[in-house]
C-alpha cells in the first residue's frame, strides 16, 4: 500500500506554513515531502524579493542556490564512476590531481598563514574525500554567517581552474593545507570540491556536462552550475537578516561574499557549493534514491548496493565528535550523527520523526533536506537567507524545517 499524507496532516502543514508566511519572519520559502511513489506535499509562499510586494510570488519552479546540497550530487557522480570501474575508493587523489601531491598538516584552521607541522604520513585517497576525512577544511570567521572564502568567491583561471583553486587554497604554504591525517577525523570543507575535480579528470568531462548527462538529464531535472538566463529569471534572490532580526535584500552590504553568478566567470565547477535548482526538482532527485532503495526505480542512476551505502556511517569516534559539534546546533538528539560516503547519517531514531540511518544535510543559504529509507520518505525546506548563523542555522529556518518533518510524520498513513 502506498504511503500517503492524510487530510489532517495536509491541513496542519498548510495552516503552519500559511501562518509562517503571514508572520514575515522568513523570506519566501518552499517546502515539500515525497515517498518513493509520489510527491506527498509541496508548498511555496512569499515574494521573490523580500519587502517588495510588486515582485513575483515564488512557485514550485523557483530556483534556489542550494549551496552544500550540491555535495550529494557530486558524491553520487563519483560513486557512479566507482561502479563503472573508472575510479576506486582506494585511488590516491594525487594520481588524479597532481596539485594534491604534497599536502601539509597545519596547526591552525582559521589563519591564512598557519604554522606548518609537516607532510602527511597517510596516503590521501578518494574514500577520504567521500566521507570528509581528508583533512581539507573551511576557514570560518568568528561570525559563521560571514563566509570568507577566496576559494569560492574568486574568478578562477579558465585555462586551469583546478590549479587556480588549489593555489588560492594553498596561498604561501608549501602544500595544500590539511587539518589532520586523512581518515582520523572529520572536517567540513573542500572535500566535495576536490571530489568534483576528480570526477572531471576521471570522466574527461566538466562536472556540469557529467551531471547533465548522467543525473539531471535522465531524471528530468533542471539544475546547473551556470545561472543561465532561464534559471536567473526563476532565481529567488538572497535576503539578509540584520543584527536586529530584520529582513532586507542582499545587495552590496559589506562582509557577505558569494560565488560568481555571471556564467562567463564560472570556469571552476564547485562540487561543494555551486548548483542552482528548484527544491521540487531536488525533491524528485531524493525520490529517485528512495525508488532505488525500495526496488521501484526505472532506469536507476545507481546500483542498489551503492544506494544502501549512502546510509552507512563511516567515521571514527573522533570524526563523529567533530560532526556532532556542527550538527548539535540543529539536532534534537545529541551525539547521534556520522557521515557516510556522501552525506550525514543519523545513528539514532529522532522521536516522532526520521528513523535511525536516515541521511540529511543543508545549504549555507537556508536550504535543508532529509531522506529516511526505513520509513520511505524524504523532505526539503528552503529559503535564500544569509545571517550571523548562516541561513541554514537561522532559528526560524530550523523551526520551519522541524515542523515540516514532525507534522509530516504525524500525518503519514503507511
13-72 per-position pLDDT tens digit: 999 999 999 999 999 999 999 999 999 999 999 999 999 999 999 999 999 999 999 999
Over residues 370-384, the mean pLDDT reads: 99
- Which three cell numbers mark 142? 568568528
How many CA within 13 A on the CB side of residue 388?
8
Q: Quick one: pLDDT at residue 1?
A: 83
Over residues 147-160, the pLDDT tens digits come to 557 889 889 999 99
Nearest-CA neighbor of 363 among 301, 287, 276, 286?
A: 276
Tell me the pLDDT tens digit for each residue of 301-338. 999 999 999 999 999 999 999 999 999 888 888 778 99
Say what the pLDDT of residue 396 is. Answer: 96
What pLDDT, in 10s, does the model give residues 124-135? 999 999 999 999
> Cell digits for 390?
548562516
Average pLDDT over residues 163-173: 95
Can you tell me the mean pLDDT for 203-227? 99
Q: Are 292 and 87 in contact (CB under 8 A)?
A: no
% of the chain beyond a pLDDT of 70: 97
Strand duo 239-241 + 385-386: pairing: parallel
The span from the CA of 170 to the CA of 364, in Å, is: 23
Question: Which residue in 206, 198, 205 sits closest to 82, CA to CA?
Answer: 198
Is residue 144 pLDDT above 80, yes or no? no
Burial 381-401 (b: 16+ CB within 10 A, else e): bbbbbbbebbbbbbebbbebb
Q: What does the pLDDT average to over 349-359?
A: 97
Query: Crossing angle of helices 191-203/70-83, nearest 10°?
Result: 40
CA–chain centroid gap for 350, Å, is 21
Contacts 24+ apart (CB under 8 A), 216-220: 218/299, 218/301, 219/284, 219/285, 219/288, 219/301, 220/284
How far, in Å, CA of 245 to CA of 241, rounded? Answer: 5
Say whether pLDDT at 93 is over 90.
yes
Interval 283-295 mean pLDDT: 99
Place of cell 515564488: 58
User: Rounded to two decimals, what is the model's pTM?
Assistant: 0.97
Q: What is the pLDDT of residue 98?
A: 98
Give me the residues paired with residue 359 across strands.
345, 371
Please say if the pLDDT value at position 293 is more than 60: yes
Q: Under DSSP, is residue 86 helix (H, G, I), strand (E, B) or coil?
A: coil
Instruction: With a cut of 80, say whether residue 161 has pLDDT above it.
Output: yes
Amino acid at each position: 500500500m502506498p504511503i500517503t499524507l492524510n487530510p489532517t496532516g495536509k491541513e496542519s502543514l498548510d495552516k503552519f506554513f500559511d501562518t509562517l508566511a503571514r508572520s514575515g519572519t522568513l523570506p519566501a520559502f518552499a517546502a515539500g515531502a515525497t515517498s518513493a511513489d509520489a510527491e506527498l506535499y509541496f508548498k511555496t509562499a512569499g515574494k521573490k524579493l523580500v519587502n517588495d510586494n510588486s515582485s513575483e510570488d515564488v512557485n514550485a519552479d523557483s530556483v534556489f542556490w542550494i549551496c552544500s546540497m550540491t555535495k550529494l550530487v557530486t558524491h553520487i557522480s563519483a560513486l557512479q564512476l566507482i561502479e563503472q570501474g573508472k575510479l576506486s575508493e582506494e585511488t590516491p587523489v594525487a594520481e588524479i590531481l597532481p596539485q594534491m601531491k604534497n599536502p601539509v598538516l597545519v596547526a591552525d584552521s582559521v589563519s591564512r598563514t598557519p604554522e606548518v607541522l609537516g607532510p602527511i604520513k597517510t596516503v590521501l585517497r578518494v574514500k577520504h574525500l567521500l566521507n570528509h576525512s581528508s583533512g581539507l577544511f573551511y576557514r570560518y570567521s568568528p561570525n559563521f554567517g560571514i563566509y570568507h572564502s577566496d576559494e569560492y568567491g574568486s574568478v578562477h583561471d579558465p585555462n586551469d581552474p583546478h590549479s587556480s583553486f588549489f593555489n588560492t587554497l594553498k596561498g604561501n604554504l608549501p602544500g595544500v593545507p590539511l587539518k589532520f591525517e586523512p581518515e582520523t577525523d572529520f572536517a567540513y570543507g573542500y572535500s566535495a570540491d576536490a571530489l568534483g575535480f576528480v570526477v572531471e579528470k576521471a570522466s574527461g568531462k566538466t562536472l556540469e556536462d557529467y551531471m547533465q548527462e548522467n543525473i539531471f538529464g535522465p531524471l528530468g531535472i533542471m539544475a546547473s552550475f551556470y545561472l543561465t538566463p532561464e534559471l536567473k529569471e526563476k532565481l529567488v534572490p538572497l535576503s539578509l537578516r540584520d543584527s536586529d532580526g530584520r529582513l532586507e535584500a542582499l545587495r552590496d552590504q559589506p562582509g557577505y561574499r558569494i560565488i560568481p553568478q555571471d556564467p562567463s566567470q564560472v570556469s571552476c565547477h564547485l562540487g561543494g557549493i555551486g548548483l542552482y535548482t528548484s527544491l521540487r526538482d531536488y525533491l524528485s532527485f531524493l525520490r529517485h534514491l528512495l525508488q532505488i532503495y525500495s526496488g521501484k526505480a526505472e532506469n536507476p542512476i545507481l546500483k542498489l548496493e551503492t544506494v544502501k551505502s549512502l546510509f552507512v556511517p563511516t567515521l571514527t569516534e573522533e570524526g563523529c565528535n567533530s560532526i556532532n559539534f556542527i550538527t548539535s546546533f540543529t539536532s534534537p538528539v545529541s551525539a547521534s550523527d556520522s557521515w557516510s560516503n556522501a552525506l550525514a547519517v543519523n545513528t539514532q531514531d529522532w522521536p516522532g520523526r526520521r528513523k535511525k540511518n536516515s541521511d540529511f544535510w543543508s545549504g549555507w543559504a537556508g536550504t535543508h533536506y532529509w531522506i529516511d529509507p526505513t520509513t520511505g520518505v524524504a523532505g526539503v525546506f528552503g529559503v535564500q537567507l544569509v545571517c550571523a548563523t548562516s541561513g541554514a542555522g537561522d532559528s526560524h529556518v530550523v523551526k520551519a524545517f522541524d515542523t515540516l518533518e514532525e507534522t509530516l510524520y504525524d500525518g503519514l498513513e503507511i
